[in-house]
Structure 1
Amino acid sequence: MNDTTTGTSPEVLRERMVDRILANQRLTPSVEAALRHVERHRYVPDAPIADAYAEQAVITHTFPDGTHLSCASGPTVVAAMLNALDVQPGHRILEIGAGTGYNAALLVTLAGADGTVTTIDIDPDVTAAARRNLDATGFERVMVLTGDGAHGAPEHGPYDRIIVTVGAWDIPPAWWDQLVPGGRLVLPLRWRGTTRAVAFVKRDTHFESDWVYLCGFIPMLGQPGEQNTTIDTDGLVTIHYDIDQAVDVKALQGVLTREKTTVWAGATVDANESLDRIWLHLTATHDDTVRIEADQRAVTTGLCTPAIASRSPALVDGNSLAYFTIRRTETSERWQLGAVGHGWSGEQLAERIINQIDNWDRNRTADPQLLAYPTGTPVPDALDGKAISKPNVTLVLRNIDV
C-alpha cells in the first residue's frame, strides 16, 4: 500500500519520520526501534498516510463546538517523552490519555513480554477507537479503561512509569500514590500560561525533575486552574492567569490605552530560535507572570504587539502591565527583543522583563529544575526557588543557573 498523493509506502515514510526525529534529538536504541516498528498510520486510519508520518498532530476527536478533544501528538514530542520516560523491559506502565492507542503500542513494545500497559481516558469514544486500533495491530494485551485519569487505575498498579498525554495543570494525588518510589512521571505540565513536558522522579517526599521540554497538548478535562479576561473594549486582547494569582481584573480594563513605554534589550535572535525559555525565567522569578493573547486586529492596529500574538509572557501589577515583544533589526535577518509597558508601573514591569531577557541571553539553553511537593508535605524553608501553589501540589521552580 502506497500513499495515494506521494506514491510512497508507509514503511518508507516511517523510516523518514524516525530519521527526521534523530536529526534533532538523541533517542535510546529501544525508543528508536519502537518508532520504526509500530505502524503509526494504522492509528489514524482517516488521515492521509503522509499526514500520519508528518511532523504534526492529527486531530481525531472534537467537541460539538469544534474544540479538540483528542489527537495523535506530533512524532517528535512523542519520541522525546518516551525517551524521558526510560521504559525498561518488565515495567508496569500507566498512560493517562488513550488518544489513538499509538502511544500505548509504543509503550508495550518498550516494556516487552513481561511488562504491562494500562491506558485510560475519560471519553468512551476515544477509548473505543483506541481499543479497535490496538486490536487491529496486534496489541490486544494493552488494557484500555474508560474513566477519569485523575484517579489513575489502582487496580492495575502500582506502576514503575506513568505518562500523561494531555495537558495537566495540577498533579493529582493518585499519580503520586500509584507510582513506585524511584518511579518516573512524564507529563505536559501547565503553569503561568505556558506548558512544558517534564520528567519527574519520585523521591521520598516530592517529585524532582531531570528533564524539561517545550510542548503543547490538549488540556486535561476537569482541571479548571486557569482563568482569562479581555482587557480592551473590543475584546481583542486577553490575559490568561492561574487561580492562585491576585490579578485585579477590573483595574486592568483599558490598560492598553494608558501611558506606554517600550524598552529594548541588547539580545537578538534569528527567525528559527526559540524564545520560550525567557518565559521560564519569568515564571521562576516573578509571581505576576501571565500569558497575553492578541487578536491579529490588535496587532495590525498597534494596540498590542506581543512577540507571538497567540501566546507571549506578560507581567501584571494592579492597573499596569508589560509584555514581551520583538522587532526586526536593520539587517531584517535578526530580531531584537524588548518589552512594552502600560500604566503607572508599566516601565518598571518592562524593565523586569528586560532583566530576564538578559539572564536568558547569558545561557540560552538553561532550564529550571522543578520540584513538586504534595499538598500537606512541608516545603523545606531553606529551599531556594519560586513556589507556585496548586490544589494538589506546591510547585517549586529552582533558580535557573546563569
Structure 2
Amino acid sequence: MNNTTTGTSPEALRASMVAHVKQAGHARNQAVEEALSEIPRHRFVPAATAEDAYANKAVITKRAEDGSALSCASVPTVVAMQLDQLDVQPGNRVLEIGAGTGYNAALLARLTGPGGEVTTVDIDDEVTFGAREALDGNGFPDVRVIARDGSLGAQEHAPYDRIILTVGAFDLPPAWWSQLAPGGRLVVPLRWRGQTRSVAFVREGDRLRSDSVQLCGFVPMIGQDSELSGHLDSDGLVTLYWDGDQDISLDRLDRILATPKTAAWSGVTVGNSEPFDGVWLRMTGTEPGTCRIAADPAAVEAGLATPAIPSRSPALVEKDSLAYFTFRRLDDGGKQRSELGAIGHGPTGDELAERLSDQIRAWGSARTADPVITAYPADTPDEQIGSAHIVDKRHSRLVVSLPVVQGAS
C-alpha cells in the first residue's frame, strides 16, 4: 500500500517532525538531526499515511491476536532520544536488537557512515523480512538483518562499539556483555520494579555504568519477562505487579484494600505539566518492596484504589501491608497544583505511607538529580557491589544510586 497525504508533502512533514523532536529537547547531536532529516520514515511504514508516519506517535506494524503490539516504528522523539544516548561515531560497529521496520537501522547506518557496520536482529522472521525489503528499497543493502533471538546478539560480527535495543528488556543477557567492546555503549529500555527506563550504559571492565537514564515505554522482548502479577480484590479491578526476586505474596495481601486506609502527605507539590516519575526511580534504589499498582476506572470511581496514574503507579509492599503513590488537588489562588503523597493499608500501612512520602520529599529537593544505574554480572558477590539495595535478575544485578538530599520542596 502506498502512503497517502492530505496535501502536505512528505518532505514538509519530515521537517515538521524534526522541528518537534528538537523542541522536545532531543536530536542534540547534529548528526542525529541530519539523519532524521534525510531518512524517509514514511517509506519504512508504507501502510500508514504520510501524516501518521511523521506524527509523534508509534506506528504499529504487527499485532498479536489479543491486539497487543508485536512490532512498530517507535515514537520519533523516543528514537531521537535513544540515538542521542547511543552517541554513534563514524566507523562504529553497531548491533541493534529489534529490527522493527528497518527505519532505525537506516538511521544507524547513516550515523556510522560507509566505514562502519550495522547489524540488526529480530526473533520474528516476518519482521526481519519486512526490514530487509525496506532497507534494500531505500539504499541500505549493506545493513545486516538476522532472524534470531535477540538475547543471543550476533557473535559472528562482534565486538560492537555500540549496542541498542528498540524492544523492552527485563534483563541483560551475557551475550550483550561479551559482545560489547571495552568502553562501548549499550542503550537498553530496561524494566525493573514495574517501570521502564532507557538506560545508556558504558562498559567499565566487568560492569556497566549509566550516564543517561530516560523514561520510556517499548514493546517487550519476547521470552524475557520475569514480572509477576495478581489481583488485590475479588473483582479483579486492582492489580499488583512485582519482580521475581521480591518477597511479595498475594496470600499475605488478601483483602488488603478492604482494610482502613491512612493518607500521608509530603508537602511536595507539582503543576499540571510537571513530571514526577523520578519518585518511582528513587524508590527502586532505596525500598526493596517497590512495585507497580494498576487500578481500573471502576476501582478509582468507587474509591477502592486511587493511584496518581491509575494504569501505572509505584507501590510499596512489606509483608502484609501496602502503600501506593497518590496526589490531591490544591486550591492555590487559581494555580492548578497537586500535592503528592501516599495511601497505606494493612497493619503497617501508615508506616509504609510515611516512608513513601519520605521518598517524595527527597525527590522534591533534587528533582533534576541524575541517577546512576550500575549493572554487574549475576555472579558478582555482594561485598564487591557494596550496596544495601540490589535488584537481582537472572543474568545481572542492578544498583540505583541517587544523591541523598535533606529537606522538602
User: Contact conserved, 1:164 with 1:188, CA < 8 A, in 2?
Assistant: yes
Which residue identity lines up with residue 23 of structure 1 in the other structure?
Q
- Partner residue in 1 for 2:114: 113
SS in 1 for 2:375: strand
- Partner residue in 2 for 1:393: 396
Deviation per CA, 1:249-305: give whole Å up to 9, x if none. 111121000021011121111111111100011111000000000001000111000
User: Contact conserved, 2:263 with 2:343, CA < 8 A, in 1?
Assistant: yes
Q: CA deviation at 1:24?
A: 2.1
- Partner residue in 1 for 2:55: 54
- In structure 1, the gaps of 5 or more residues are none
Q: 1:340-379 to 2 correspondence within 5 Å?
A: 340-379=343-382
Q: 1:294-333 to 2 correspondence within 5 Å?
A: 294-330=295-331, 331=334, 333=336
Q: 1:1-400 to 2 correspondence within 5 Å?
A: 6-26=6-26, 27-330=28-331, 331=334, 333-381=336-384, 383-384=386-387, 386-400=389-403
Q: CA deviation at 1:5?
A: 5.3
Higher mean displacement: 58-67 or 4-13: 4-13
SS in 2 for 1:341: strand
SS in 2 for 1:284: helix
User: Contact conserved, 2:293 with 2:315, CA < 8 A, in 1?
Assistant: yes
User: Contact conserved, 1:280 with 1:367, CA < 8 A, in 2?
Assistant: no
Q: CA deviation at 1:320?
A: 1.0
Equivalents in 2 of 1:272, 1:5: separation in Å? 32
Q: 1:397 to 1:33 in 2, by over 3 A?
A: same
Q: 1:6 to 1:269 in 2, by over 3 A?
A: farther
Count of aligned residue pairs for this structure pair? 401
Higher mean displacement: 26-35 or 165-174: 26-35
What is the aligned-residue identity percentage?
54
| RMSD over aligned Cα atoms | 1.4
Deviation per CA, 1:25-64: give whole Å up to 9, x if none. 1511111100100011111111111111111111111112
Equivalents in 2 of 1:88, 1:350: separation in Å? 47
Q: 1:118 to 1:381 in 2, by over 3 A?
A: closer
Equivalents in 2 of 1:9, 1:80: separation in Å? 25
Equivalents in 1 of 2:386, 2:319: separation in Å? 29
Q: CA deviation at 1:362?
A: 0.4
- In structure 2, the gaps of 5 or more residues are none
SS in 2 for 1:325: strand
User: Contact conserved, 2:282 with 2:359, CA < 8 A, in 1?
Assistant: yes
Which residue identity lines up with residue 23 of structure 2 in the other structure?
A
User: Contact conserved, 2:3 with 2:48, CA < 8 A, in 1?
Assistant: no
Equivalents in 2 of 1:373, 1:96: separation in Å? 21
Which residue identity lines up with residue 352 of structure 2 in the other structure?
L
Which residue identity lines up with residue 391 of structure 2 in the other structure?
I
Which residue identity lines up with residue 249 of structure 1 in the other structure?
L
Which residue identity lines up with residue 183 of structure 1 in the other structure?
G
SS in 2 for 1:46: coil
Q: CA deviation at 1:151?
A: 0.3
Q: Compute the TM-score of the two structures, normalised by the length of structure 1.
A: 0.97
